[in-house]
Amino acid sequence: MSIAWYLVVSALIFCIGAGGVLVRRNPLVILLCLELMLNATNLALIAFARMHGNSDGQIFALIIMVVAACEVTVGLGLIVAIFRRRLPIDVDELRELQG
C-alpha cells in the first residue's frame, strides 16, 4: 500500500475526532476525541517515518503518546474534581470562566 493511503486514513480519523470535540458535550467523550486526534497524528508521523526510512518520526510518535497520557491524567483528575463538587458533567453548563 502506498503511503498516501495511510495519510488519507489519518486525515479522516483526525476529522472525526475534531467533529467529536465540537459536537459532544460530555467532557469524558471530549477527552476520548482528543485521543483520536492525537492518534491520527501518530499514524501520519509513522507513515512519514516509513516513507523516509528514518525512525525519528517513530520517536516523535512515542513522545506524543507520553504527552497524551499526561493529558488524560490531568483531564480525568479535573473530571473527578468536577464530580466531587456536584457540578453537572456537561461542558455547556461549566461556563464560569467564559468571559
In the range 42-71, which residues lie near other proteins by CB under 8 A?
A: 42-43, 46-47, 49-56, 58-59, 61-63, 65-71
In this structure, what C-alpha cell is assigned to residue 85?
463538587
Nearest approach in angstroms of CB 85 to other proteins is: 5
In this structure, what C-alpha cell is assigned to residue 38?
492525537
CA-to-CA distance for 42 and 58, rounded, in angstroms? 8
Q: Which of residues 19-38 bind other proteins (CB under 8 A)?
A: 19-20, 22-26, 28-29, 31-33, 35-36
Site string for other proteins, 71-90 (x = CB under 8 A): xxxx-xxxxxx-xxxx-xxx
Which residue's entry shows cell 464560569?
96
CA-to-CA distance for 39 and 23, rounded, in angstroms? 19
